[in-house]
Amino acid sequence: MRLLLWFSYFWVLLSCNSNKHTSDFELTQGRVVYLDSVKIDDESFSFMSAINPKVYNDTILGMGDGSFQGVHLFNAKTGEFIVSFESDSIETFQLPKKNYGNFSIQGDTVFILNSLNNTVYSFLFDKTFIDKTELMFLDVMQKSEYETLFEVNGSSVYTSSIYSGPLQDRFRYSKIVSVFNRSGVFQHDFGSYPKEYKEGNLVLSKDENKILTNDILIILNVAGVPKLKKYSLSGNLMSLDVLKSKNFDPQIGYFQGDPFSGPLTDQFNGLGSNVLMQDDIIYATFSSFDIRDRKEGLETYQWVLMKIDLKERTIKEHKIAGAWHLSEVRSLIPQVKGDTVSILIRNEDEGLYLKRLLFD
C-alpha cells in the first residue's frame, strides 16, 4: 500500500513538472552580423528614452518618449517621421495630456493606451478619432502598466497590469497580465512576480519582460534567476525554462534605506520572438556589471544580446554596447522577422538608429 501511494505521488509530481526544464542549456559561441542601419528622424523630439519601441508589418516603427505625452511613428525602412499621437496635435478629439507610453496597431487602426485612466484610444493613421474604451478591472487596486505589454489581438486586449500600492504590496498582489474584450470587459488575469522580489528592497529598471507572439504569451523576469515562461492566451502555463548565462549574475542587490546605496543588479530588459512562425527561438537582452559596487561598477556596464534555442537547448551571448550606453537609448525590438533581429540604439554621433542583424 505504501509503495502504491509513493508511486502515485511520483506520477503526479512527474506530470506537474512535465513542461518544466532545469537549466540544461549548453552555452555556445555566437556571432553577430549587422545587415543595415537606418537613422531615425528624431530631431524634432527629445528621446532621452524610447518607451516600448515596436515594429509592425516590418514597415512602421513606433515608440513613446520619456515625457509620456504621446506615441510617435516612423518609417522603419527609411527612418522618416510619419505621425505623432499627442494631445496638442489631434484636432478630432481632445486627448488627456499625459501617460502615454504604449500602443498597438491592427490593420489601419492605431490603439494608444493611457495607463493613468486605464483607457484605450483608437485612431486612424490620419489621426481621425474612432473611439475610446475603458479597461474595467474587477479589482479596483489593479491598473494597467505602461511598460512592455499592450496588444490588441483579434477580439481581445492584453496589457501589463500591477497592483496599485506600496512596492512590496505590488510585488505580492499583482497579476502582471490582464485580458479584456474589445469593449473593455475584464476576461481574466494571470502571472505573478518572482518570490525573490518580496525578500528585500530592490530597484528594477523596468517591469517584467512580456511579448505576445503567435498566440503565445512569453514572460521573462527582470532580476534574479532568469525563468522563461510560456503561457496560452487563456493564462495556462505551458512551459518554464530556467536559463543560464556567462555574463548575467542572478544575485539581487537589495538595499537598506537609500535605493541607490545597494549593490548593482544585473537585469533583463528586452525580449523578442519570430513573428512569422513559432520556431522555439527566443531573443533577450540584459544589462550586466562586472563589479557590483555602485561607485566602481558603472564603468563596467555592458548590454548583452542572448539567443535562446528551446529545441536545441543552446544559449548564445554577444556584447552589443558598453558603458557609454548606460544612460542612452538601447532597446531590443520584440518583433523578430525570421532570423533577422532589430535593435534601436543611439550611436556616439548622437543619432538614433534602427539596426538589423543576424545572430548565429
Domains of the chain, earliest start first: 23-359 (2.120.10.30)
DSSP 260-288: GGSPP--EEEEEEEESSS--SEEEEEEEE
Q: Would you place residue 10 in the very low, low, confident or very high pLDDT band (cuts 50, 70, 90)?
A: very low
Q: Is the pLDDT of residue 91 over 90?
A: no
Q: How far is Cα 131 from Cα 111, in angstroms, rounded to an integer? A: 10
**Strand order from edge to edge, sheet including 335-336:** 26-29, 314-321, 301-309, 281-289, 267-274, 335-336
Identity (one letter) of the amino acid at 249? D
Tell me if residue 4 falls in helix, strand or coil: helix
How much of the chain exceeds pLDDT 90, in percent?
A: 77
CA atoms of 158 and 178, how far apart (whole Å): 6
Q: What mean pLDDT value characterizes the chain?
A: 90
d(CA 222, CA 101): 19
Any alpha helices (H) in the chain, and if so which ranges?
Answer: 2-16, 167-173, 294-297
Answer whether residue 1 shows pLDDT above 70. no
Tell me the CB-side half-sphere exposure of residue 297, using CA atoms within 13 A: 16
Give the pLDDT confidence score for residue 88 in this predicted structure.
73
- Mean pLDDT, to the nearest integer, of 276-301? 94
pLDDT at 13: 39
pLDDT of residue 219: 98
- Give the pLDDT confidence score for residue 94 in this predicted structure: 78
Q: Higher pLDDT residue, 7 or 134? A: 134
Mean pLDDT of 57-63: 96
As a residue count, the chain comes to: 360
Say whether pLDDT at 7 is over 50: no
Evaluate if residue 12 carries a pLDDT over 70.
Answer: no
Residue 337 CB partners (closer than 8 Å, separation 6+): 58, 274, 275, 276
Higher pLDDT, 86 or 210: 210
pLDDT the model gives residue 23:
67
CB neighbour class for 247 (10 Å; exposed up to 12, middle 13-18, buried from 19): middle
Average pLDDT over residues 319-328: 95
Task: For residues 200-215, give the mean pLDDT.
Answer: 93
For residues 78-101, give the mean pLDDT.
85
SS3 130: strand
Q: Which residue has the higher pLDDT, 347 or 8?
A: 347
Residues 177/158, Cβ–Cβ less than 8 Å: yes
* 234-287 confidence digits (pLDDT tens): 999 999 999 999 999 999 999 988 888 889 999 999 999 999 888 899 999 999
Q: What is the spatial distance between Cα 150 and Cα 113, in angstroms, rounded to a whole number?
A: 8
Contact of 124 with 108, CB cutoff 8 Å: yes
Q: Say yes or no to pLDDT of 43 above 80.
A: yes
pTM, rounded to two decimals? 0.91
Confidence grade of residue 98 (pLDDT, cut at 50, 70, 90): confident
- Which residue, among 112, 106, 67, has the nearest Cα to 212 in the 3D structure? 106
- pLDDT for 105 equals 97
User: What is the largest distance, in Å, between two alpha-carbon atoms of the chain?
Assistant: 76
pLDDT at 92: 78
State the pairing for strand pair 50-56/60-65.
antiparallel
- Under 8 Å CB-to-CB from 330, ≥6 apart: which residues? 285, 303, 320, 321, 343, 344, 345, 346
